[in-house]
A and B are shown apart, each in its own frame.
Chain A
Amino acid sequence: MTAPRQRAPIPFPSKPQGPTSAAPAASDAELVSRSLNGDVDAFETVYRQHSGRIYTLACRMAGSPEDGEDLLQEVFLQAFRKLQTFKGDASLGTWLYRLALNHCLDYVRSRQARMKKLTDTLDAETSFEPAARRTTPIAKLDLDRAIERLPDGCREAFVLHDVEGFDHKEVGALLGIAEGTSKSQVFKARLKLRAILGER
């Protein structure tokens, strides 16, 4: 965690992105234009299409649904304020995702700086010993809840890599850490998750 934290251009993960509901009847450009003219219904359509993905990202990055909800509000409020900067080079979903990711990263950095709770303390946990062997498959809901229990640092790396689909180089750039550090954080997160899920 010694690399300087620089804001790198945010890449887009390879995982399929898309609206969380049915395909919009209106184009991105039309929705943006109407929203800029104060049409709240148009902005609501934007919200309905994209809020699920952004809320999910925010909850997992922040590690709590309460903070995720606050981040969702802030992201869409910021989106409303910055709509005129949307040029249509990428889809509105991509633009919103980048905005959300930036906001989540700012939040994570601010919290880490405040708490000075880096993941160095996890160094002792890189062992396979403690986890009990599971006899049943991991349920998605169990894993989603277990992610919330991960320590700051390795949780964000895990979410970006294993859930959002960024590669380690991209995760490193986003979190301001070396690629190797991203690898080790994701590894620590998986071990911790294995231990948490083994408690069940």
Chain B
Amino acid sequence: MHPDPAALNDYVDSLDAAERPRELIVVERHLDSCADCRAAANALREIRAVAKALDPRDPPARSWSRLERAITLEHGARVKADGDRAADLPRSGSRHQLWIGLAAAAALVIASAAALRYAGLTSRPSSDVRPAATNGANANTAAAAQAVEAELKQAEEHYEKAIQGLETIANSEKGALDPQTAATMQKNLAVIDQAIGESRAALKAQPASAPAQQSLLESFKAKLALLEDTVALINEMRKGNDAGAARIVSGLKGKG
């Protein structure tokens, strides 16, 4: 008789233990004679072993730039609140000026991302934003649909505001980019803008369409990420960090 699957799992977990409980010794004996159970146990054991050895992931290059802008703004606000006019961040002058200019958009992006994720509208499967349709609950369904639409509208406004801020910065500093990179960025932006346009058209036709809602938000998010990469690139070039700039450029080329 095959062991209970949970017992097999316990057996796999007990492999590191110095002493195996008696009931698991029975499982071990069974594995000696049952190829199917042995294969199942080996599969679980392999998953466990590989999971233990998974490699760390590298955060996207833009992450630090985005964070730096937000904390620069926050520190600036704190200093201002303290009334210390002389206080400033120990950074090089021209770079600092740009950071202060960019910070508001970055803070808005982080705040928006957090707010929207908790509201449940970003990066979730389409089923998550679809109002539940149950028999005899049409009123509830309509209310839920309205709530989702209101949240979507709010999300759209957040994204548009953040995008607008970053676009202004990226356009005014575009001269810092080499023509080929600037062209790649424009091409990628055009592709994303087209996707935004198509999602909007789909939503106009079917305002409750969960895939269209999701597609619109994902397009906004892609545009934000691209603009953040662009601003991060401009800053890396200003810093004279060729390696950092190259890393971001290779990311830009992979999009669109």
Chain A residues proximal to chain B, CB less than 8 Å: 15, 20, 38-41, 43-44, 47-48, 51-53, 55-56, 59, 64-70, 72-74, 76-77, 80-81, 107, 110-111, 114-115, 126-128, 131, 133-134, 137-138, 140, 143-144, 147, 158, 162-163, 165, 183-184, 186-187, 190-191, 193-194, 197
Is there an interface contact between B87 and A38, defined as CB atoms closer than 8 Å?
yes
Is there an interface contact between B55 and A140, defined as CB atoms closer than 8 Å?
yes
Contact with A along B34-54 (1 / 0, CB 8 A): 001101100110111011111
Is there an interface contact between A134 and B114, defined as CB atoms closer than 8 Å?
no
Task: Give chain B nearest CB distance to A45 CB in angstroms.
Answer: 11
User: Chain B residues with Cβ under 8 A from A64's Cβ?
Assistant: 123
Does B68 lie at the interface of the complex (its beta carbon under 8 Å from any beta carbon of A)?
yes
Q: Complex formed: what's the CA distance from A107 to B113 in Å? A: 13
Q: Complex formed: what's the CA distance from A194 to B40 in Å? A: 9
A73 and B47 in contact, given A59-B57, A115-B128, A140-B55 (Cβ under 8 angstroms): no
Q: Which residue of B51, B64, B123 is within 8 Å of A66 (Cβ)?
A: B123
**Stretch of B72-80, B160-168, B248-256 that contacts chain A:** B72-80
Task: Give chain A nearest CB distance to B121 CB in angstroms.
Answer: 11
Is there an interface contact between A76 and B128, defined as CB atoms closer than 8 Å?
no
Q: Per DSSP, are chain B's interface residues mostly helix, strand or loop, or mixed?
A: helix
* Number of residue pairs A-B, CB distance < 8 angstroms: 143
A190 and B47 in contact, given A73-B66, A140-B54, A163-B54 (Cβ under 8 angstroms): yes
Q: Complex formed: what's the CA distance from A52 to B59 in Å? A: 6
Does B56 lie at the interface of the complex (its beta carbon under 8 Å from any beta carbon of A)?
yes
What interface size band does chain B fall in?
35 or more
A69 and B60 in contact, given A38-B89, A39-B89 (Cβ under 8 angstroms): yes
User: Chain B residues with Cβ under 8 A from A158's Cβ?
Assistant: 51
Does B71 lie at the interface of the complex (its beta carbon under 8 Å from any beta carbon of A)?
yes
User: Chain B residues with Cβ under 8 A from A70's Cβ?
Assistant: 110, 113-114, 117
Additional A-B contacts beyond A55-B59, A114-B118, A140-B54 (11; CB < 8 A): A39-B89, A40-B89, A43-B71, A51-B63, A52-B59, A55-B63, A72-B63, A80-B71, A128-B5, A138-B50, A162-B52
Is there an interface contact between B57 and A55, defined as CB atoms closer than 8 Å?
yes
A sample of 7 inter-chain contacts (CB < 8 A) reads A38-B75, A52-B56, A73-B63, A128-B5, A134-B43, A143-B51, A187-B6
Q: Complex formed: what's the CA distance from A165 to B44 in Å? A: 16
Does B29 lie at the interface of the complex (its beta carbon under 8 Å from any beta carbon of A)?
no
Determine which residue in B37, B39, B46 has the highest number of CB atoms from chain A within 10 A of its CB, and name it.
Answer: B46
Task: Give chain B nearest CB distance to A86 CB in angstroms.
Answer: 16
Q: Complex formed: what's the CA distance from A56 to B51 in Å? A: 13
A73 and B67 in contact, given A127-B5, A137-B46, A138-B46 (Cβ under 8 angstroms): yes
Q: Which residue of A44, A52, A114 is within 8 Å of B57 (Cβ)?
A: A52
Is there an interface contact between B54 and A52, defined as CB atoms closer than 8 Å?
no
